[in-house]
Amino acid sequence: MNITHTIQSTELLWTLVAIPGLLLWVSNRMRAGASLRATKRLDIGNGRRAFARFAVRETTVWAFVEAVFVAIGVVSMTYESNPDSNTLSSLVIVAGLILASAMITALGVEWRRVDRELVRTAVAQMTAAQNTREASQSATAVAQDDREVVQNVREESQDSRETGQNTRQTGQDDRQVQQDARDADTRQ
């Protein structure tokens, strides 16, 4: 079925299916690049960087494939339709390529879902590690505070002993003064 003298419905459908796929894979490529930059900036090398490098290559390839589908669709719409091209074999080939483009787009959606899950997991792990560091620092600070409290108690205990010794000494001094006074009274 011809929409205009140069555009057939299959060409239009082909292009309309490929455009969202191209946009999705270009967006995925940007996310993959950001992920790779983040692994370098945060010095993450636990397999996430290797996956990020692979994701950059993979998304580039799929964006290129979708770009080829779009280009073929746009170019084919600029040429006048050939009435002999509406054979069943031509329609089967076009339908297969439209289906391939749709499947590549679906793969892009799944790639995005997996990437988001990996990012969520990485953020959760980084947050947990940060919380562990903060808890460790808090525990260290509490332990330091406990040591200071124990030291203060020891110092207060030492002060109490010294005060007790001073009180005993003062008591002994007072008793000595009283004894000396009694001895002086008895001598008189």
Q: What are phi and psi of 49, to 5 degrees?
A: -70, -40
Give the pLDDT confidence of 39-48 residue by residue, as tens digits.
Answer: 888 887 778 8
- Domain annotation covers residue 167: no
The answer to whether 15 touches 70, Cβ cutoff 8 Å, is yes
Give the pLDDT confidence of 109-151 residue by residue, as tens digits.
Answer: 998 888 888 878 877 877 887 788 777 777 777 777 777 777 8
Q: What are phi and psi of 2, to 5 degrees?
A: -95, 130
- Domain annotation covers residue 184: no
Residues above pLDDT 90, as percent of the chain: 15
Mean pLDDT of 12-33: 90
For residues 151, 152, 153, 159, the Cα torsion angle rounded to the nearest 10 degrees is 110
CA distances (Å), origin 124, targets 99, 109, 118, 121, 152 = 38, 23, 10, 5, 41
Angstrom distance (rounded) from CA 34 to CA 39:
9
Name which residue leads in pLDDT, 177 or 116. 116
- Domain annotation covers residue 161: no
The residue with tokens 């008189």 is 188
- Provide the number of structural domains found in the chain: 1
- Domain annotation covers residue 100: yes
**DSSP per-residue letters across 133-144:** HHHHHHHHHHHH
Give the pLDDT confidence of 143-164 residue by residue, as tens digits.
Answer: 777 777 778 778 777 777 777 7
pTM of the model: 0.59
Give residue 87's pLDDT.
67
- Domain annotation covers residue 71: yes
Mean pLDDT of 16-21: 90
- Domain annotation covers residue 117: yes
Angstrom distance (rounded) from CA 73 to CA 77:
6
Mean pLDDT of 5-22: 82
Neighbours of 7 (CB within 10 A): 18
Mean pLDDT of 62-84: 84
Give residue 30's pLDDT.
94
* Full residue range of the structural domain in which residue 26 is found: 9-144
